[in-house]
Amino acid sequence: MKRALAVLGLLATAATACSGGGGNVPGVSGNAAAGQVTIRWSTWGSAEDVKLYESFTKDFEQRHPNIKLKLESVAKYEDYHPKLLAQLTSGTAPDVFFVGDDNIGKFVSAGVVSPLNDQLAGADSKSKPEDFYDGIYGGAKKDGQIYGVPNDTNPEVLWYDKKALKAAGITEDPATLNASKQWTMAKYLDMNAKLKAAGLGGSVYWNWYGSTYSVVSGFGGKVWDGGKFVATTDPKSRKALETLAKGYQDKTFLSADLQPASNSGNTQFIKHKVGFYAGGRWVIDIVKKGGELDNYDIVPFPSESGEPMPGAVAASYLSLNKGTKQAKEAFTFLTEFVSKEGQALRLKDGGAVPSIKGAEQIVLAGNYPAHAQTFLDVRDTGFANYPEEVAVPGLTASINEHLMKVWQGKLGFEQGMTELQSLVDGKLG
């Protein structure tokens, strides 16, 4: 989860100063004599990625000479949200800030982010509420109100290595099967079994909700239903989770989290040692290192019937500090940052998928991978992490941690499911 979201955060870093101050902090309000204000905003990510977004910052400040943008970045995702919550408590938080999809619920519940419906629908908005697919709002929408706008996304798909499939005696192409609605869970699992029999890995997954819940969805199961966690009781969900547990334990499925640095999941994929790699558009950078781009393509997670099914979409959100003293200028930055034009500037050289309708060319330009449209199809019909789950601080992380014990065989499946249900019920209170 952190890896996928970190990629999104890196893609959103702008080329502005990274020190504190600005916004509602005394002494850093811009050039008052010239009528200029400073809008502070924050995200997570490394400083080396800042240069990717100089074009957005330069363009914005040229068109809005009364606004100066000031970025305050935090290198590590796990450090970012605790720091931001502390700033909100002390009244020193930025005017606008990123929130991960596994944290947005706590910010909404805490009442520290502004509802945005009226502003997004207003005349000054460059990004209307309906410009974004409903499923990717996730926990950023509550009771019909929008508290965070998806800044960009990374739909979870299955990358596959044609050379590895051929080495395992697999003659059918997953994308071709998908086009004819024959890409079924049975076909996928059979390919994994053949890869394993050939001495190769079947699939590499990161241990986060994107991969796990996409498999559950592929089996026709449910994770949440009517506000209740049902992954351990829904028969199809249990079948999906048991299939994952057995696959991890017999090494058909590999956990990227557990692979040694010297032989990482990335390395095994580009060295043709594994057939499938679950990830987003950011995997393009991985396969480029292998130098055999035409050898790789993508396909959505399969379904029981071969019909398209909803898949997971990694998302993060841009939210407006409810306590900002310059709400008008802060919203101007927010709406332009997530607008079609803003995303085009920010993402043209990146590894994310636009969250807004009308910017599809960013993904389709260059015709890579061959079935790049799959990214858009999953985005348009997919889901961000469930609102019920992200509303409980730390719940997603606890579920992932518990499931890892099941994947490793440290907990038997039946015991693992019983304890998982108790864990979730306990956190729901």
142 close to 108: Cβ distance less than 8 angstroms: yes
Take residue 255 and report the two structure tokens written for it: 């956990």
H/E element, 87: helix 77-90
212 close to 248: Cβ distance less than 8 angstroms: no
Q: Pick from 321, 262, 254: which is nearest to 89 by CA?
A: 321
What type of residue is 323? G
Take residue 85 and report the two structure tokens written for it: 């919550």
CA–CA distance, 97 with 72 (Å, rounded to integer): 9
Q: What is the pLDDT of residues 58-84, one digit of tens each?
A: 999 999 999 999 999 898 999 999 999
Q: What is the largest CA-CA distance in the chain?
A: 73
Q: Pick from 385, 75, 2: which is nearest to 217 by CA?
A: 385
40 close to 70: Cβ distance less than 8 angstroms: yes
342 close to 336: Cβ distance less than 8 angstroms: yes
Q: Pick from 312, 318, 336, 2: which is nearest to 152 by CA?
A: 318
Q: What is the pLDDT of residues 118-145, one digit of tens each?
A: 999 999 999 999 999 999 999 999 999 9
Residue 268 confidence (pLDDT): 97
CA–CA distance, 391 with 386 (Å, rounded to integer): 9
Per DSSP, the residues of 115-150 read --HHHHHSTT-SS-GGGB-GGGGGGGEETTEE--EE
pLDDT beneath 50: ranges in the chain: 1-29, 33
> Under 8 Å CB-to-CB from 19, ≥6 apart: which residues?
72
Q: Pick from 110, 37, 104, 46: which is nearest to 73 by CA?
A: 46
SS3 80: helix
Residue 31 confidence (pLDDT): 55
Question: What letter would DSSP give residue 233?
Answer: T
Structural domains in the chain?
2-155+315-381 (3.40.190.10), 157-311+394-428 (3.40.190.10)
Take residue 401 and report the two structure tokens written for it: 């941690």
Take residue 256 and report the two structure tokens written for it: 């990227």
